[in-house]
Structure 1
Amino acid sequence: MGWFGASRTQSSRQAPAPGPARSIELDFIRGIAIIAVMGYHFHSYPTGSAIIAAIEMPLKSFGHEGVNLFFTLSGFLVGGLLLKQYSQDGRIDAGRFIVRRMFKIWPAYYVLILFHVFAGRHPTNTFLVQNLTHMQNYFGSSIAQTWSLAVEEHFYLFLPVLLIGFARLKLRANAILGVLFAICMLVLVARSAAVANGDLNGTFFYTQYRIDSLLFGVMLAAIYWMKPAAYQWLAVRKKTLIATVVLLVAWLVFGTRSVALDQSIGYTIQAIGFTALIVLTLEYSGSIRGSWIYRGIGWIGLYSYGIYLWHSLALAPGDILIRKASAMGLPAIPSWFAIMAAQFAIATIVGYVTTRAVEFPFLRIRDALFPAKRKAPIEVPATGHVS
C-alpha cells in the first residue's frame, strides 16, 4: 500500500500529510479499495430484503478483489518512485528506497503485532513468527488481513533487484516493458497450472502467483515516466478506458463466480481493468473531484493503510450488535444499516487514530533522516485532461 504524490491543481490536494503533495485522485482509488475490503469482511444482519441483498451483492461477492486494486495501485506508485529515478539518473538507489519503505510500512505494522501479543486475542503461535518474518501468506496467520502485506513486502525487495539488473544492462523503456510483460505471462501460466492442480489456496495467497497484479502497475509507471508520448496516447482514449472498466465490472459480477477461473485468468483481467481505472481516474475526474463524496472517499483513502491494518477490530462489536438486535427483535433493515455503519465507523476511527499516532510521526522522522532525493512536486505528463 505505497503512496505517491502527483502535482495537480491546488484543489486536488488532500489535507496536509507527511511527504510530498498528495493526489486526491489516487487517494480516491485507495478509498474505493478499502471500502470494498471492509464491506467484504464486515458481518451483516440478516434482513430477507431484496434491496439489501442488492446492496450487499457487490461487496460480499467480490469485495475481496479490492486487494487486487491495492496491488495494482501499489505497483504504479512504488514502481513510479523507482522508475522516475531510473529514467533521470540511469540508476536505482535501492538502499534508500528500502529504508524509506520500512519507515512507511513497519512502524504501524509492528504496533499491530504488539497489540495482538499483549491483547491476547490470538495465541502467539498462530501469528507471531509468521508475521515477524513476513511469511504469513505462506504459513498462515490468525491476523488474517496481513497476508497481502507479505506479498507487498516481497515485492518491495524483488522490484529494486529487478530494476538494478535493468540498469546494469542499460535497458530502455521498451525492453523493460517487454521483460515485465514476460514475467506477468509466466506468472499467469504458473498460476493457471496451479489452479488446474487444485492449489486454490496457493494461487490466492502465495507471492509468486500474485505479483503480476503489482507488475501491471509497474508497467503503467514505466509508460508514465519513461514513455510520456505513449502515456498521452493512452490517456486521450477515454472511450477505450471506460470500455475496459465496464468489462472489468462485468468480470467482477459474472467471472468471479468461478473461483478457478477468477484465480487463473481473472487476476490478469482485473489487473488490466484496474490499470485502466487508474488512468481514467487520474485524467478524467474533472469537476467531481471537488464533490463531497469524492473528497470523502479520498479522505478514507488517506488513512487506508491504518484502516486496513485495524479494521478486523470492528468485527467483534458488529457481532455484539447483531446479537442484541436479534434478541430485542429490532426492525431488520434499520438494524442492518446501523450495524454496518457502526463497523465502518469503528474501523475508520481506529485507522485514523493509529495513522496520526504512529504512521505520520514515523514518516516525519523518515523525511528528516532519509529525505527523498526530489524536492519539487512530481509533474504529471501533460495530456490536456487533468481538469
Structure 2
Amino acid sequence: MPSLDGLRAIAILMVCYGHLCGTRHFPVSVAAYGRWCGDVAHLGVLVFFVISGFLITSLLMDEREATGGISLKRFYLRRMVRIFPAFYAFVLVMAVATVLGAVQLSVRDFAFALTYTVNFEPGRSLQIGHLWSLSVEEQFYLLWPLALLALRGRRALLVAVAAVCLGPLVRFAIREWIFRVDPGFPGGMLTSFPAMFDYLATGCALALLRPWLLTRPWYLRLTGSRWLVLAIPLVLLINRMGSHTVAILLGSPVMNVCLALLIESGTRHARGLGGRLLNWKPAVFLGTLSYSLYLWQSPFLDHASSAWICAFPQNLALVFLAALASWFLVERPFNRLRRRWRRGDSLPAIVQGLHGCPMPTSSPR
C-alpha cells in the first residue's frame, strides 16, 4: 500500500527521538522531554499498532475475497517467517552480551522475551523492555485471524468497534486500581493486551469499514481535505495530556479516529504533497528498516547509562548500523523467501516441514 512505509518512518523517528532524550550529549534532557507534545515515543508505538491492525485485516480480507476463506496455517507461517528471525537474532545477541557482562538481564527477562509476554512483565529491564509492543502485536496476530475466521464481516466489525470502546475503559480501570486501590498492582498491566487492543482494533475497523466508506461522498471529502492536517496537532495535544482521565476516556477514541483518517488520507492520496513526502525514497527505506530499528534502538539509547556507546551521536549511528546489519543479514533473506512463496515457488524443506505439508503451487496474497 502506498505511504505505509512513510508512516512507519514517522513512527520510528518518534520512538527514537523519545528514547534519545536524556542520553549523554543529546540537547534535550529527560526533564524537557514531553513538555510540548507528551511522550512521543509511546505515540509512535500507537501509530505502529493502528497501521498493523489496518494492514493485517486488509490482507486477510483480500485473501477471503480471492479464495473464499482464510488459511490460518499460511497466515501464521508468513508472520513467523517475517518476524521471528530478526527478533530471536536480537534476543540471542542480548544473551551473549549478558554472558559477557555487557548488559544485566535475568533468566526471567529472557523467559518473557522468548514467549512474547514482555508486556505483562513488571519491572522489565530497559534493554528488552521495548519488546512489550512486539508482544502485544504477536498476541494480536494470534487472536484476530481466529476472530475473523469465526465471525466474518459484520460481527467481526462489531468486535473491533467494541474493542475501540472498551480499551480506554480498561486503561482507566487499571490506572485507578494502581493509584487509588492497590499501589502494588503490577504496573505492567497498563501495557497488557486488553489495555492496548483498541489501537489495533482501530486499524481493523478501518479496514473492515473501508469498502463502504469509500462509497460515501462525505468520507471522500473529509479524507481528501487539506484541513485534515489539523488532526496532527489534535493528536499531539491529546498525547500531551498523558494519563489524565479526560485523555484516557475521551481523548483516546478521538486520537484513534484521527490516526485512522490520516492513514486513509496518506494511502489514498499518494500524489499529494503529504503523499509524496511519505513515498519519498529515504522515507520508504527508513520505514522498511523500522522493525530492525525498533529492535535495536533500546540497548544504545539508554539515558541511564554513561557508556560511550550510549552517548549521542554515536548511539544513534550504532542503532542505524545494527538495524542495517539486521536488515541485510536476517530480514531481507527471509523476506525474499516469503516473496518466492507468494509467487508459488517451493520453500526449503525445513519450512515445508514447519507447515506440515508440501506447499501448493500458488497462494493468495
TM-score range, shorter chain: 0.7 to 0.9
C-alpha separation between the residues in 1 aligned to 2:301 and 2:155? 47
Q: If the length of structure 2 is used for normalisation, what is the TM-score?
A: 0.78
Which residue of 1 is the match for residue 199 of structure 2?
Answer: 213
CA contact (8 A) 1:307 1:348 kept: yes
1:356 to 301, 321, 328: 328
1:154 to 128, 139, 143: 139
2:208 to 187, 198, 222: 222
Change (3 A) 1:229 1:314: same
Change (3 A) 1:35 1:134: same
Which residue of 2 is the match for residue 241 of structure 1?
Answer: 228
CA contact (8 A) 1:203 1:209 kept: yes
C-alpha separation between the residues in 2 aligned to 1:269 and 1:279? 15
Which residue of 2 is the match for residue 301 of structure 1?
Answer: 287
2:156 to 176, 188, 197: 176
Which residue of 2 is the match for residue 347 of structure 1?
Answer: 319
Which residue of 1 is the match for residue 363 of structure 2?
Answer: 373
1:104 to 72, 78, 82: 82
Q: Which amino acid aligns with 1:227?
A: W
Which residue of 1 is the match for residue 356 of structure 2?
Answer: none
Question: Tell me, which stretches of 5 or more residues in structure 1 are unaligned?
Answer: 1-5, 7-22, 324-338, 376-387
Change (3 A) 1:214 1:231: farther
SS of the residue aligned with 2:173?
A: helix
Which residue of 2 is the match for residue 185 of structure 1?
Answer: 165
| Structure 1 position 245, deviation (Å) | 3.4
Which segment is superposed worse, 120-129 or 350-359?
120-129
Aligned length: 329
User: Are 2:107 and 1:125 equivalent residues in the alignment?
Assistant: yes
| Structure 1 position 26, deviation (Å) | 0.8
| Structure 1 position 200, deviation (Å) | 8.2
Q: Which amino acid aligns with 2:266?
A: T
CA contact (8 A) 2:50 2:201 kept: yes
| Structure 1 position 279, deviation (Å) | 1.5
CA contact (8 A) 2:296 2:319 kept: yes
Change (3 A) 1:56 1:349: farther
C-alpha separation between the residues in 1 aligned to 2:291 and 2:97? 21
CA contact (8 A) 1:235 1:280 kept: no
Q: Which amino acid aligns with 1:185?
A: C
Q: Which amino acid aligns with 2:175?
A: V
Question: Tell me, which stretches of 5 or more residues in structure 2 are unaligned?
Answer: 179-184, 345-361
Change (3 A) 1:206 1:217: same
CA offsets per residue over residues 291-333 of structure 1, 9 Å max, x none? 699432332111000000011232369844599xxxxxxxxxx
User: Are 2:149 and 1:164 equivalent residues in the alignment?
Assistant: yes
What percentage of residue pairs aligned between the two structures are identical? 26
CA offsets per residue over residues 324-348 of structure 1, 9 Å max, x none? xxxxxxxxxxxxxxx6443332212
CA RMSD of aligned residues (A): 3.3
Which residue of 1 is the match for residue 182 of structure 2?
Answer: none
